[in-house]
């Protein structure tokens, strides 16, 4: 449940229609963002031409339409766009919606020149998204190659380590066998000498 900003409804400055409004804290809770982040996003959108309603103290308040706009910005950003690109994409999307609501769509105009700017914006947005996807795919491929290289190096290191351990164990076995042989040789030599002395006496 959202806390309404100062009152349950305000007059829309565009058409006099009463509407529900929300404060920045409500929007932050809804979108799971900080209030400072909501303020930052709002300023960025305003710099690109978006308009938020404000009270007589120049404080922003937000409508249901503003919530949708901010949610779109977050969605674009979460899908790999930079914040600046996300804001520009939202403005294009918002302007397209406003044109449709006002009955000014590319399919309803009479001249090619009227549709060209809108179509160019759409093509630019598609190109930007395509480049972002290519960048993500390239980064993913590089990460996979790096991981494969790391796995290969670890496998080679493990093999070399096991070989070194086996060689060390084999060397120790050989040394132990030589020592045991020398000990046995010394024992039989002493035993033989004792036997020789007994025979002489």
Domains plus CATH for the chain?
Answer: 1-104 (1.10.1660.10)
89 in Cβ contact with 49 (< 8 Å): no
d(CA 83, CA 48): 13
Q: What are phi and psi of 53, to 5 degrees?
A: -70, 145
Q: What is the pTM of this model?
A: 0.44
Q: What are phi and psi of 99, to 5 degrees?
A: -65, -40
Beta strands in the chain (DSSP E): 10-11, 18-19, 53-54, 60-61
Question: Pick the residue with more confidence: 8 or 198?
Answer: 198
Tokens, residue 81: 């766009």
25 in Cβ contact with 6 (< 8 Å): no
Percent helix, percent strand, percent coil in the chain, to nearest 5: 75, 5, 20
Categorize the per-residue pLDDT at 117 as very low, low, confident or very high, splitting at 50, 70 and 90. Answer: low
Q: Which residues pair with 60 in a beta bridge?
A: 54
- Average pLDDT value for the chain: 75
Residues 6+ apart with CB under 8 A from 40: none
Q: How many CB atoms neighbour CB 56 within 10 A? A: 5
What's residue 106's pLDDT? 41
d(CA 130, CA 125): 9
d(CA 10, CA 17): 8
d(CA 168, CA 146): 33
Categorize the per-residue pLDDT at 40 as very low, low, confident or very high, splitting at 50, 70 and 90. Answer: very high
What's residue 131's pLDDT? 73
d(CA 151, CA 147): 6
Question: Pick the residue with more confidence: 179 or 49?
Answer: 49
Tens of pLDDT, residue by residue over 168-199, are 888 888 888 877 776 666 655 666 666 555 55
* CA distances for 125 relative to 9, 11, 86, angstroms: 36, 34, 10
């Amino acid at each position: 449940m959202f806390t309404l900003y100062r009152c349950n409804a305000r007059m829309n400055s565009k058409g006099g229609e009463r509407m529900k409004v929300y404060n920045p804290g409500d929007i932050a809770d809804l979108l799971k963002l900080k209030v400072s982040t909501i303020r930052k996003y709002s300023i960025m959108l305003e710099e690109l031409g978006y308009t938020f309603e404000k009270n007589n103290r120049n404080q922003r308040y937000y409508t249901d339409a503003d919530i949708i706009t901010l949610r779109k910005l977050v969605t674009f950003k979460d899908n790999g766009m930079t914040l600046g690109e996300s804001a520009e994409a939202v403005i294009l999307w918002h302007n397209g919606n406003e044109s449709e609501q006002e009955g000014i769509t590319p399919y309803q105009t009479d001249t090619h020149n009227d549709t060209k700017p809108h179509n160019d914006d759409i093509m630019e947005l598609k190109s930007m998204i395509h480049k972002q996807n290519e960048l993500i795919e390239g980064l993913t491929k590089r990460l996979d190659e790096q991981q494969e290289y790391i796995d290969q190096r670890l496998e080679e290191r493990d093999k070399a380590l096991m070989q070194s351990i086996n060689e060390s164990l084999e060397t120790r076995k050989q040394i132990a066998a030589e020592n045991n042989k020398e000990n046995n040789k010394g024992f039989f030599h002493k035993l033989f000498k004792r036997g020789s002395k007994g025979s002489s006496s």
